[in-house]
Every structure is written in C-alpha cells, then in structure tokens.
Chains A and B, each alone.
Chain A
Amino acid sequence: MGIKTFKGGIHPGYMKKLTKKSPIIKLEAGRQVVIPLQQHIGKICDPLVNKGDYVKVGQIIGDVDAYVSSPVHSSVSGTVVAVEPRLSNGGVEVNSVVIENDGEYIEDDTLNLKGNYEEMSREELIETIRKAGIVGMGGAGFPMHIKLDPKDRNIKYIILNGAECEPYLSSDHRTMMEHADEMIFGINVMMKILGARRAFIGVEDNKPDVIGLLLKKGLPYQIEVVPLETKYPQGSEKHLIKAITEIEVPHGKLPADVGVVVNNIDTCISLYNALVLGKPLYRRRVTVSGKAVKNPGVYDVPVGMSFREVFEAAGGFTKDPKKIIMGGPMMGAAQISLDVPIVKTTSGILAFTEKEGRVYKESPCLKCGKCVDVCPMNLMPYVISKAARNDDIEKAARYHASDCIECGSCSYTCPSHRYLVEGIRLAKTKVTALEKSQKR
C-alpha cells in the first residue's frame, strides 16, 4: 500500500489537533435563521414563500426552473418575517428568506424523499436528489443532480474526497470517523446512479484513525481506501484524481470527461439523509476553529444560523478575532461581519487572532522560483502575477493564467510575501474578458 500524491504542493502547519479529536456536536438554530436563496453554482432560486407564511422544517422555500440550480429548504419551523437581500458570506447581499424560529421543529412531510435506492430507477434517484437540494459541499456548491447525470459520458470511477488538505479543517475527518456507514451507503447510491465500477476513498495519511477504521470495517470489494501523502492541495479535484488513478484531467476538461466523478464526504452523507431519513439538505458539519475560539471543534449546524451564533455556541472568543474566514485558511474567504449565515458550502469558519492572520507587506520579487516549484498546476506564478499587474494580459494568457486553481501555495511560500494569487486572479478575469472580446 504505497502513499500516493502529485507533483508540487506545500506542507503548511496543519493545526488540526485543535479539532480532530472532538466528537461532532449538534447545534440548534437561534431565534432567527437567514437562508440565502443561492447556495449553489447556477441560477438563484425564486422565493416560494411570502412574508407571514408558516414554514416547516425541510420545506422547500426557494426553487427555480433552471437546469443548473438547486432548491433551498427551511432548517426550522416558524414564520417568515422577511424575504429580502441580506449580507451573505460572499461579501455581497443575496436575496434571502428570514424565518422566525418557533422552536417546535415541525417536520414537513410533503417531499417524500425516502425510498429504497436499489429498487428506484436512475431518473427517480436523480429527481429525489434534486428535490433534496443536494449540492457539492466541499466549497463550490455544484448541484449534485447534474454531476450524477453526466449525459453520454461513461463514468468508471467514483472518488470520495477525504483528503481534507486545508489546515484547521476537521469536519470531513470527524464525519468519516462517526458516520462511515452512511458514507458507504452514499457511495453505493452514487455507484448505482453512475454505473461506476469502482470507488476510491482518498484519505491523507495524517488521518490514520480513519484509514484504520475503514479497513477494519471491511469495505465491499469495489470500494477501496487510498492513503494519500499529507500535502496541500491534495484535495484539489484534479490532483486527487492524478494521485489515485494516475489520470491527468486535460486542460479545459471535466473529470467526467476522463470517466471520474469526485465527491465530498458530507455530500455523500446527505444522500443517506435524504433516502433513508427523508431529510433534505438543511444541516451540515462545520469546523469551528482558530486560536481566538474558546472551544474549537466540529459542529453539526443548521443552514441559516449566523456565524455569530455558531461562535457563541463554541464558547465565544478568548481573544478579539482579527480575521473571520469561511472555509480553510488557504482558499477560504475573509468575512466583513459575523452576521452572515452558514450555507450548504460552509465547510468551516475560523476566527484568527492578530498573530495567526498576520498580513505581511510585499517586498520585491527575488525571482527565487519557489512559487514555480510549489505550483501544483506547473505554472510560473511570479510571471503571471507581474504581467497582470503590468496590464500585459497577453503575456499572462501565454503563461496559462487560466489554468490556475487559486490554491494559494505560491503566495504561502513566497519569501517576499508577494500577493501572487491576487495578481493571478486579476489575470484570470482579464484573460477571460479578452478571450470573450476576441470571440466576438
């Protein structure tokens, strides 16, 4: 059993011991929940409820008739007090449904998600998954019913992304430890829908307890645990595929084009929640960590609960947080306020002390080439970033700016603290604009 990996990458301080041992704690929503009508990639949902309506737990409160979209459900029962734009964790206001929680948790029974997947047809399963509002919970939020319907592509392998390469985060780790059976159920459902022959669970070798547990469990022969080297960004879709199957997803292609589908652990469990428990996706497991938090850990949180309430439930702050991040510290987004809701794609929320989230001043590029060495996409970050900042978009395009996955390894490793990822993001936007204008 060799340890697999990819070329490039970095070894940041993982900080996982803050959270990796603590059992998942279930939280209940506070007085109010704010549920954004867009928690996925694709078209924003139209609200299906009005101010004053009474909603139940799991009731669909937003949906839209578009191919790339996913419905949104209520996580509490109570009265809708507003349908209005509210600040969300992207830093912009998103049309949201605000519900006053009555604490009764009366469940909606109109969805009928439950079913025996072995007897259900592919179409029935995909329809159920759409109804349950299941999206990729790793961060991108790609609607699951589209991912599981790859049209004429022939899917051979399913990969479950248990790498959790982002520092601080432990939600996948804890979920795999505590909900392994549900996870395996979810894999079986996906294998049936996609007609895949094999499934791999990729786990970084800093989680030996998970690897041991899954091996001891005796997985079905078509499901295999693959230990991976602990290295960031091991959980990047393309690099995970490369590490496990040796297949390099070609530039501009999807994993499905090479016969692979990669899924998040929590997403897999929501299949179980829908088909066995009849619950749509309105809760998720969130890592709450950072040195400013009193009780870091993994929490099972209803969608729509605010960051503030979750941090309070985690014992509040020991020091004034200087930075609030949704997601991991490498790719997560810094927040301007604590009053933003947990959404389907919130894998973690971090409160950093001043020291942890230290912001450095840029100094001149030494051309040391460290960014070139660590780039998992084999790019030359310092060249692209400089070209973009000098407005030389053609040069940035020539150096494959659009291939960047924004993993942040280059900025992390730069001794001059250059803002490389920012520069490359700028390049990507401008390159896309340039390509569009040329097509016209």
Chain B
Amino acid sequence: MNEKFQVTSSPHIHNDFTVRSIMLDVVIALIPAGLAGIFYFGIHSLWVILASVISCVVFETIWNILLHKKNTVGDLSAVVTGLLLAYNMPPTIPVWMVIIGALFAIIIVKQFFGGLGQNFINPALGARAFMLASWAGAMTTWVSPSLFGSDAMSSATPLSLLKAGGEALQNMPGVQKLFMGDVGGCIGETSACLLIIGGIYLAMRGVIKLRIPVSFILTVSVCAFLFAGGSTLAERLQFMRWHTFAGGLFLGAIFMATDYTTSPTTPKGELIMGIGCGLLTSLIRLKGGYPEGVTYAILIMNIFTPLIDRYTVPKPFGSKSGKEKLEKKLMNFIAKKQEKKEAAN
C-alpha cells in the first residue's frame, strides 16, 4: 500500500461550486431571453449573439497567448460577457461593431485590469457605454418585433415613448406585451418574463442573491410611481408598470448588477447597490437626456463598489451591540462633564 498521504489544511471537503459551474448556470439562465430575442427580432440577432460570444472567447485566448498565460476561457466567464454584450445590442447592429465592442470588453475592461475578478466595471456594460459613445446612431436604432423579423420596421422603444411623453404615450404597448417582450428594444432585454425565469433559476441554484435585483427593481417602481407623472392613482400605477417592465431593467437587475466582481459583498452593501442603481436609473430616465438609464446606473454603482464594501463591514459575532456602545458613550460623556466640573471647582 502506498503510504504517502496528502497533507493539507482543513477543510478537507468542498462543495460542487466552481467558477465554471457558476458561469454555466448564468449561461443557462440567459438562454431563454436570447431565444426570445431571436424569435422577436429575427435571425440577425443570432448572428450578433454568436459574433459577440465567439469574439469574446477569441480575444481572451489571444490575450492569454500573447502574455504566455494559461488559457482561461474554460471558466466560461468570456462566454457570459459575450452573451451579456449581445443582449445589450439593438437587433440591427452591424456585426463588426459588436466585434469591436467585444474587444473593448475583454481586453480593455477585463484584462487590462487583471482579468477575472479584477475588473472594476462590468465588461459588457463598459463596452456598451463605449459603443454608445462611438456609434450613437447604430446603437439607438430600434425595430418593432415581428415573427422572426420578417418585416422589421424601425420603431421607438417603449422607453423613448415614455421619454417623449404626451401624445406618444398613446402608442405605448400593453403591459402584457411589455412583460412578454413583444416590444422594441435590445436583443435580450425585452422579455421580463423569461429574464425572471432565468433569475429564479439562478437564485435557486444559489448563484445570485435576491437583495440586489429585488431592491433595484422595487426602487425603480417606487420612483416611477412617485415621480413619473400622472395625476390619478390609476395613472401613477400605469407609469409604474411601464417603467418597471420597459427597457433593460430586468436584464440589468438580475444579470448585470449582480455581477460578483463589480458588486458589493456585504449584505448591507448589496442593498445599497440595488437601491443606488434604482435611484440612478430613475434619475436618468426621468430627468436625464437618455430614455434608458440602467447601463449608466450600474456602471456608476460599480465604481462605488469598493467604497461601499469598506463602509458596510458587518459586525462580527459577539461584538458589542449598538445599544451598549451608546450607553458607553453616554457614560463617557457624563464622566467627562463631571471631570470638567471638578476641574472648574
């Protein structure tokens, strides 16, 4: 018998999670929304998705070869970035633009800062912001959904109708259509229903926690109810429903604001992230120049993430409760006063 035993530090067992299994779960959770995108906007959406995923994987491989590093595409994080990037593209985007976007996401946002786990903003969203600045026209050309894109017509997204307000609101699609995703928008963002299903899958698998998505979505809903306009309760509720289900809120809240690396790790921090994203989204949508604010809201909160983590360190088990601390402060205060009095005397 071989009597050379392996000696390692405890613990000696481990659960089944790996980076790869988590990324695979995210990919699985994203598939339904992508299929809906292809279904609504046509086969070009498929090419966009494939181009994005493949170029992300290829760019990461090239980077690793150039830097003589072990290839890391096996962890599937590049695939997730590729999917998310594609889902954030309008269905008519030229494929070459997507490839340049993927280059920006993988090389500049992810690898320049140290690769997996080190990027300070979400790579897909960083690339989307870069593309919005570079090709404003192509990035904001929308088509109305039609079965497999057979007779795609350019149209406004629900959010741009909301932005225009007034008579444009007459053309707002019904909430049911919004929920199912049968409206204009980015490839993977329109179907709140399928994104929620993906989110439930991720939550059940323990991949994401619900604090960020729920607080994000609720904050946007509440802000829309309070500030989006409308004079009667029914109107306010209508605005709330529109703002909740239109645009990229569910894609952002479930799949991008929850990105591990760029979101806080503490329970309190996660709530701050979600509420912060919600407030910024509402601010941009309601008061800013753009109809949609999810991208920039998440990017801004990404940048705050290290700071949030630093200020929301949880209290260790057995540390003094707030009440005891307060009492101690009070006692100190009284003692000091007493001292002063005695000194004065």
Contacts and interface: CB of A to CB of B under 8 A. Distances in A.
Interface string A297-332: 000000000000000000001001111110001111
B345 interface: no
Interface residues of A, number: 70
B13 A330 contact: yes
A415 B17 CA distance: 5
Nearest to B258: A368
A12 B116 contact: no
Given A336-B7, A411-B11, A250 B320 contact: yes
Nearest to A360: B14
B141 interface: no
Interface in A373-427: 373, 376-380, 382-383, 399-400, 403, 406, 408, 411-417, 419, 421-422, 425
Given A364-B116, A369-B260, A332 B17 contact: no
B317 A238 contact: yes
Contacts of A322: 5-6
On chain B, which size bracket covers the interface?
Answer: 35 or more
B14 A320 contact: no
Interface stretch (A16-24, A26-34, A215-223, A350-358): A350-358
Contacts of B317: 238-239, 242, 248, 376-378, 403
Interface string B96-107: 000000000000
Contact of A248 (B75, B117, B309, B318): B318
Highest count of chain B CB atoms <10 Å: which of A325, A337, A350: A325
A110 interface: no
Given A364-B118, A377-B316, A415 B5 contact: no
A372 interface: yes
Contacts of A331: 10-11
A367 interface: yes
B319 A251 contact: yes
Interface stretch (B18-26, B52-60, B218-226, B334-342): B18-26
A334 interface: yes
B238 interface: no
B14 A358 contact: yes
Interface string B246-266: 000000000000001100111
Interface string B311-330: 00111111110000000000
Nearest to A425: B9
Nearest to A417: B14
Interface in A199-228: none
Contact of B117 (A335, A356, A366): A366
A333 interface: yes
A111 interface: no
A368 B265 contact: yes
Nearest to A330: B11
Interface string A93-110: 000000000000000000
A321 B4 CA distance: 9
A329 B314 contact: no
Contacts of B13: 12-13, 167, 329-330, 356-357, 412
B260 A413 contact: no
A87 interface: no
A338 B19 contact: no
Highest count of chain A CB atoms <10 Å: which of B21, B117, B270, B315: B117
B44 interface: no
Contact of A330 (B2, B10, B315): B10
A1 interface: no
Nearest to A290: B12
Given A332-B12, A334-B12, A337-B3, A249 B22 contact: no
B231 interface: no
A277 interface: no
A378 B316 contact: yes
A323 B265 contact: no
Nearest to A168: B13
Given A369-B260, A421-B11, A415 B18 contact: yes
A377 B1 CA distance: 42
Highest count of chain A CB atoms <10 Å: which of B11, B13, B265: B11
B69 to A, nearest CB: 12
B264 to A, nearest CB: 7
Contacts of B116: 363-364, 366
Contacts of A366: 19, 116-117, 260-261
Interface string A232-266: 00000011001000001111010000000000000
A301 to B, nearest CB: 20
A364 B12 CA distance: 20
A422 B9 contact: yes
A364 B115 contact: yes
A367 B117 contact: yes
Contacts of B5: 321-324, 334-337
19 contacts: A250-B319, A323-B5, A331-B11, A332-B12, A335-B7, A336-B7, A337-B5, A359-B6, A359-B8, A369-B270, A373-B267, A377-B318, A378-B314, A378-B316, A379-B314, A380-B314, A382-B265, A403-B316, A425-B9
Interface of B: 1-3, 5-15, 17-19, 21-22, 75, 115-118, 209, 260-261, 264-267, 270, 309, 313-320
